[in-house]
Amino acid sequence: MRREDVPLVTWCGVKIRGVRISFDLVPGTRVHWYRPMDGEPWDLIAWKHSGKESLWYVIADVNGVSDPFIFPKSTERIAIPPIF
């Protein structure tokens, strides 16, 4: 794939080129599902699962969230990627 073929996406107001990898296509990986509390921020979720709050953007990206101030609801299940 050429760099020009990768679509531009908006991340926190900045246009970047991004590629999302489906974990279903990676052999031997399993996604962990987590049900957050209402308004639980992404950095707290990352800290609970990895001990590193700075990796919040990985979990948000896997769940299709481009705005870090849109928090998940308790009625949603969010995917925690296998790197955690």
Q: What is the pLDDT of residues 62-79, one digit of tens each?
A: 888 878 888 999 999 998
Q: Which amino acid is at 33?
A: W
Q: How confident is the model at residue 1 (pLDDT cuts 50, 70, 90)?
A: very low
pLDDT at position 84 is 53
Q: Which residue ranges make up each domain of the chain? A: 3-80
Residues 26-53 have pLDDT tens digits of: 556 677 889 999 989 999 999 999 899 8
| Integer Cα distance of 84 and 80 in angstroms | 7
Among candidates 14, 4, 29, 18, which has minimal Cα distance to 64? Answer: 18
Kindly provide the residue ranges of all beta strands, DSSP E only, lying in 8-84, ordered along the sequence: 8-11, 14-17, 32-34, 78-80
Cα torsion through 37, 43, 48, 50, rounded to 10: 150
